[in-house]
Amino acid sequence: MNGAQSLVQTLINCEVDTCFANPGTSEMHFVAAMDSVTKMHPVLCLFEGVVTGAADGYGRIAGKPAATLLHCGPGLANGLANLHNARRGNTPIVNIVGDHATFHQQYDAPLASDVAGFARPVSSWICESKNSKTVAGDAARAVQAARSAPGGVATLILPADTAWNPADCASGALADIGPAMVSAETIEQVAKLISEGNATGKKTAMLLSGKALLGDGLEAAGRVQAKTGVRLFCDTFASVSELGAGRVPVERVPYFAEQIVAFLTGIDRIILVGAKPLVSFFAYPGKPSWCAPEGCEYTYLSLPHESGVQALQQLADALGAPAISPIRVPLTLPDLPGGALNPLTAAQIIANLTPENVIYADESATSSLPLLMNLGRARAHTHLALTGGSIGLGLPLAIGAAIAAPNRKVVCPHGDGGAAYTVQALWTMVRENLDITVVIYANRSYAILNIELQRVGAIGAGPKALSMLDLHHPEMNWAHIANGFGMEASRATTCEEFTAQYASAMKSKGPRLIEVLI
């Protein structure tokens, strides 16, 4: 057994059985090890940003890490944007980066770089293996670090000689470092604040994050809502949430700062459940960065590393809440529209025709508001958002989600500008025959930046400035692009065309792309 084989076998022993990869020379022994350790599922991606984004989608749905395999510092650098998104979403990932052999590093070869320096801003844990005999132990610690509450990116740097030199054996799994329990004193304090607030007419909201937006956590939050009338919020870009008919209703915080302040008007206290206080996504002249209205107070029920689910359950019990929340989202499907396609009519078609239990890997950008409004009352589903704001995540995210849940359909609504960042993801969807329907909103623009140009008060913007935000000349033909990657694809120019094409995609399995001209 060499170091690479001990690494792959250790990953399997730790239940990490999927590796998204774009390898190079330094990683060839790891690549070869995937044949001798047969339980690993390797997924080739044509760009490192697809590798890291797919690992993000996998971790969000599977609840456990996938591995990545990246080639030296430049390969890692190509994947940093989607590792940034994963870090913001607390997604567990074992991020393996090859490097030059230890004895070769002194020569400053062309690919030599500060791998740890590249990795540091997006990693919660970093280790560089120094010896082939320690690789297995390093790998076990990497998995433990990635899984440690609330989850994160654990980067293991693997010099080539530690992969090819002999190793003694693989390692077993280390115990998970699970979430800390919230103290009884904190539960009692928050219950008292809510009760006293209700008695004095103060309005309380709870900002939910992480597992508080799923399953038992969401149910417990609904119990608190039913008893006390607190409003339930989630972040604009909540990492993963369970929405739709039959679920406990949760309001999504708006995007722009002044919208957030207006949204929170009348709220006297916000209780944070694994979440952070609300701030503006960007700074704007004359607009607030801190988005709580004057006099509104923040209180923590649980920190990100603590169990928000346990805290919500105990809080509900302390308040004497009902055993099951009676407040549920009713199923309200929009009628199928006709005529011109726009973000609203496209959203109505998607909401009407999408079956239950679908996963949405959503980077619909400026088309997202009508989509989220309609999906909130549509059939029950799981929603994945653009957590860190770095565009080009949606297509890779869909890959990871589809591999983590092969029996569930994935729908990926995506802006055309962001999709161009990681268009190589379409090839992997076809190669793996994934049940993904991609809907490209083709507005031929970085539309959000046209809005931001006005909001930041940029002076003197003329034809040159506007051309930097425009995707005409030439126009991308997404149906042809998808065909070039071997994917079935079509274009819709009217509601009737999109209805027929989307209905067909929902009734069939496999990769499909529909370009919606809006």
DSSP track, 458-469: -SS--HHHHHTT
Helix axes 215-228, 308-318, angle to 10 degrees: 30
Which residue in 319, 241, 255, 296 sits closest to 61, CA to CA?
241
Which residue in 15, 23, 85 sits closest to 55, CA to CA?
85
**Cα distances (angstroms) measured from residue 47 to each of 18, 54, 59, 216, 242:** 17, 11, 19, 37, 30
In the CATH scheme, what architecture does the domain 343-517 have? 3-Layer(aba) Sandwich (3.40)
Q: Specify the CATH class of 184-318 in words.
A: alpha beta
Rounded Cα–Cα distance for residues 313 and 327 (Å):
16
pLDDT of residue 235: 95
pLDDT of residue 451: 84
pLDDT of residue 114: 97
Q: 248, 226 in Cβ contact below 8 A?
A: no
- Cα angle 335, 395, 152; round to 5: 115
pLDDT of residue 455: 84
Rounded Cα–Cα distance for residues 509 and 271 (Å):
42
With H, G, I as helix, E, B as strand and everything else as coil, classify residue 408.
coil
Rounded Cα–Cα distance for residues 380 and 69 (Å):
34
With H, G, I as helix, E, B as strand and everything else as coil, classify residue 41.
strand
pLDDT of residue 448: 83
Decide: residue 457, CB within 10 A, 0-12 exposed, 13-18 middle, 19+ buried.
exposed
Rounded Cα–Cα distance for residues 414 and 443 (Å):
11
pLDDT of residue 494: 98
Q: 327, 203 in Cβ contact below 8 A?
A: no
Decide: residue 106, CB within 10 A, 0-12 exposed, 13-18 middle, 19+ buried.
exposed
Mean pLDDT for back-to-back runs of 10 residues, the chain (518 residues): 97 97 97 93 98 98 98 98 98 98 95 97 98 97 98 98 96 94 97 95 96 98 97 96 97 92 93 95 88 90 97 98 96 96 97 98 95 96 96 98 98 96 98 98 88 83 88 93 98 98 98 97
| In the chain, ranges of CATH 3.40.50.1220 domains | 184-318
| In the chain, ranges of CATH 3.40.50.970 domains | 3-164, 343-517
Q: Which CATH code fits 3-164?
A: 3.40.50.970
Conformation bin of residue 90: beta by default, left when phi > 0, alpha when psi is -120 to 50: left
Which residue in 248, 243, 228, 219 sits closest to 327, CA to CA?
248
pLDDT of residue 460: 82
pLDDT of residue 127: 98
